[in-house]
A and B are shown apart, each in its own frame.
Chain A
Amino acid sequence: MSILGRKLTFIFLLVSSLLSPQGYAQLQIVITQGVDNPVQIAIVPFDWNGFGLLEENVTDIVSANLRNSGEFASIAEENMLSTPHEQADVFFRDWRFLGADYLLIGKINDTGAGSALQVQYELFDVLREERIFDEVLSGSRNQLRDVAHTISDNIFEQVTGVKGAFATKILYVTSQRVNEDLSYYQLNLSDADGGRPQVLLNSQEPIMSPNWSPDGEQIAYVSFESTRPRIYIQDLATGTREQITDFPGINSSPVFSPDGTKLAMVLSKDGNPDVYVLDLRTDDLRRITNHFAIDTEPSWTPDSESLIFTSERGGNSRPQLYQVSLETGWVERLTFQGTYNSKGIMLPDGVNLLMVHRESASDEYHLAIQNIDRGTMRILTDTALDESPSVAPNASMVIYASKAGNRGILNAVSIDGRVKFQLPSAQGDVREPAWSPFFD
Chain B
Amino acid sequence: MQTYKVFKLGMALLLSLTLMACASSDTDDMGDASESMDTSSDSSTSNGGSSATSSGAGDNGGLTASQVRERDNALGMTVFYFEFDRSDLSAEARAALVHHANHLKDNPSTSYRLEGHADERGTREYNLALGERRAQAVERYLQVQGVASRQLETISYGEENPVATGTTEAAYARNRRVELH
Given the complex of chains A and B, what is the CA–CA distance between A406 and B128 in angstroms? Answer: 21
Given the complex of chains A and B, what is the CA–CA distance between A228 and B6 in angstroms? Answer: 12
Given the complex of chains A and B, what is the CA–CA distance between A297 and B121 in angstroms? Answer: 16
List 8 A-B pairs, Cβ < 8 Å: A18-B9, A225-B6, A228-B155, A249-B154, A249-B156, A252-B128, A385-B167, A406-B165
Output the nearest chain B residue to A7 by Cβ-Cβ distance. B14
Given the complex of chains A and B, what is the CA–CA distance between A181 and B155 in angstroms? Answer: 17
**Is A55 an interface residue, CB under 8 A from the partner?**
no
Given the complex of chains A and B, what is the CA–CA distance between A250 and B126 in angstroms? Answer: 11
Residues of B within 8 A of A310 (CB): 123, 125-126
Contacts A208-B124, A226-B10, A403-B167 given: A317-B129 contact, CB under 8 Å?
A: no
Q: Is the Cβ of A205 less than 8 Å from the Cβ of B3?
A: yes
**Is B42 an interface residue, CB under 8 A from the partner?**
no
Residues of B within 8 A of A226 (CB): 7, 10-11, 14
Residues of A within 8 A of B11 (CB): 226
A-B pairs with the 7 shortest C-beta distances? A206-B160, A317-B85, A294-B129, A227-B7, A342-B123, A343-B123, A273-B129
Residues of A within 8 A of B126 (CB): 294, 296-297, 310, 319, 342-343
Interface residues of B (CB under 8 A from A): 1-7, 9-11, 13-14, 23, 85-86, 120-126, 128-130, 132-133, 136, 153-158, 160-161, 163, 165-167
Q: Is the Cβ of B86 less than 8 Å from the Cβ of A9?
A: no
Q: Is the Cβ of B132 less than 8 Å from the Cβ of A387?
A: no
Given the complex of chains A and B, what is the CA–CA distance between A11 and B158 in angstroms? Answer: 24
Q: Is the Cβ of B122 less than 8 Å from the Cβ of A342?
A: yes
Residues of B within 8 A of A204 (CB): 2-3, 5-6
**Is A182 an interface residue, CB under 8 A from the partner?**
yes
Residues of A within 8 A of B2 (CB): 181-182, 204
Given the complex of chains A and B, what is the CA–CA distance between A388 and B9 in angstroms? Answer: 31
Given the complex of chains A and B, what is the CA–CA distance between A206 and B123 in angstroms? Answer: 15
A-B contact count (CB 8 A): 120
Output the nearest chain B residue to A228 by Cβ-Cβ distance. B155
Contacts A7-B14, A227-B3 given: A250-B123 contact, CB under 8 Å?
A: no
Q: B173 to nearest A CB, angstroms? A: 16
Interface residues of A (CB under 8 A from B): 7, 9, 11, 14-15, 18, 177, 180-183, 203-206, 208-209, 224-229, 248-250, 252-253, 266, 268, 272-273, 294, 296-297, 310, 317, 319, 340, 342-343, 356, 358, 365, 384-385, 387-388, 403, 406, 431-432
Partner of A11, one of B13, B23, B86, B125: B13
Q: Is the Cβ of A387 less than 8 Å from the Cβ of B123?
A: yes
Q: Is the Cβ of A208 less than 8 Å from the Cβ of B132?
A: no
Name the residue among B6, B120, B126, B133 with the largest chain A CB count within 10 angstroms: B126
Give 18 new A-B contacts, CB below 8 A, not counting A266-B125, A342-B126: A183-B161, A206-B157, A206-B160, A208-B125, A209-B124, A209-B125, A224-B157, A229-B128, A249-B156, A250-B156, A268-B129, A272-B136, A294-B130, A296-B126, A296-B129, A342-B123, A385-B120, A431-B124
Output the nearest chain A residue to B171 by Cβ-Cβ distance. A406
Given the complex of chains A and B, what is the CA–CA distance between A9 and B163 in angstroms? Answer: 31
Q: Is the Cβ of B6 less than 8 Å from the Cβ of A205?
A: yes
Residues of B within 8 A of A180 (CB): 163
Residues of A within 8 A of B1 (CB): 181
Output the nearest chain B residue to A384 by Cβ-Cβ distance. B167
Q: B124 to nearest A CB, angstroms? A: 6
Output the nearest chain A residue to B85 by Cβ-Cβ distance. A317
Output the nearest chain A residue to B7 by Cβ-Cβ distance. A227
Given the complex of chains A and B, what is the CA–CA distance between A206 and B160 in angstroms? Answer: 6
Contacts A177-B165, A227-B7, A296-B129 given: A11-B14 contact, CB under 8 Å?
A: yes
Partner of A294, one of B4, B9, B133, B153: B133
Partner of B123, one of A248, A249, A356: A356
Given the complex of chains A and B, what is the CA–CA distance between A358 and B123 in angstroms? Answer: 11
Contacts A182-B2, A250-B132, A317-B85 given: A208-B160 contact, CB under 8 Å?
A: yes
Name the residue among B1, B123, B132 with the largest chain A CB count within 10 angstroms: B123
Name the residue among B4, B86, B133, B160 with the largest chain A CB count within 10 angstroms: B160
Output the nearest chain B residue to A225 by Cβ-Cβ distance. B10
Output the nearest chain B residue to A356 by Cβ-Cβ distance. B123
Name the residue among A206, A248, A356 with the largest chain B CB count within 10 angstroms: A206
